[in-house]
A and B are shown apart, each in its own frame.
Chain A
Amino acid sequence: MSWLSAPIDAVAWLFQGGAVYVFALMAVACAVAVVVSQNVVRMAFWLILSLAATAGLFFSLNADFVGAAQLLIYVGGTLVLLIFGVMLTASGPFLQIKSRPGEMVLGGVVGLVLLGLILSSAISVDWANRGPRSAAETVGVGFNTPSSGNTTRELGLKFLGANPKDLGSSRSTLSPGFLLPFEIVSVHLLVVLIGAAYLARTKRRRDTANSEASNLSAS
Chain B
Amino acid sequence: MLAPAADLNMYLFVAAVLFVCGVVCMATKRNAIGILMGVELVLNGANLNFVAFARHTPLGMDGQVFSLFVIVLAAAEAAIALAIALNFYNNHLTIDVDRADELKG
Q: Point out residues on A near B: beta carbons under 8 Å.
A: 9, 12-13, 16-18, 20-21, 24, 27-28, 31-32, 34-35, 40, 43-44, 47, 50-51, 54, 57-58, 60-63, 65-66, 69-70, 73-74, 77-79, 81-82, 84-86, 88-89, 91, 95, 97-99, 103-104, 107-108, 110-112, 114-115, 118-119, 122-123, 127-128, 130-136, 139, 151, 154-155, 158-159, 178, 181, 185, 188-189, 192-193, 195-197, 199-200, 203, 205-206, 209
Contacts and interface: CB of A to CB of B under 8 A. Distances in A.
Contacts of B41: 31, 34, 47, 50
Given A35-B28, A185-B72, 8 more contacts: A18-B3, A31-B41, A34-B41, A66-B71, A78-B75, A85-B86, A122-B12, A128-B8
Chain B facing A: main interface SS: helix
Given A74-B74, A185-B73, A200 B2 contact: no
Contact of A66 (B2, B25, B51, B78): B51
A28 B74 contact: no
A139 B60 contact: yes
Nearest to A133: B56
Interface string B9-22: 11111101111111
A199 B11 CA distance: 38
Interface of B: 1-6, 8-14, 16-25, 27-34, 36-38, 40-41, 44, 47-48, 51-52, 54-62, 64-65, 67-69, 71-80, 82-87, 89-91, 93-96
B40 A47 contact: yes
B76 A188 contact: yes
The residue among B9, B17, B89, B91 with the most chain A CB atoms within 10 A of its own CB is B17
A99 B1 CA distance: 46
A6 B42 CA distance: 37
A43 B24 contact: no
A131 to B, nearest CB: 4
Given A40-B33, A66-B67, A82-B33, A31 B17 contact: yes
B85 to A, nearest CB: 6
A44 B36 CA distance: 10
Contact of A57 (B11, B38, B40): B11
Given A9-B1, A21-B6, A58 B51 contact: yes
Given A69-B71, A107-B28, A123-B9, A151 B64 contact: yes
8 contacts: A16-B2, A65-B64, A78-B75, A78-B78, A82-B82, A135-B57, A155-B68, A206-B90
A20 B6 contact: yes
Given A139-B61, A181-B69, A17 B89 contact: no
B59 A135 contact: yes
Contact of A12 (B1, B13, B40, B79): B1
Given A135-B59, A155-B65, A200 B40 contact: no
B68 A89 contact: no
A111 B19 CA distance: 9
Contacts of B31: 40, 95, 97
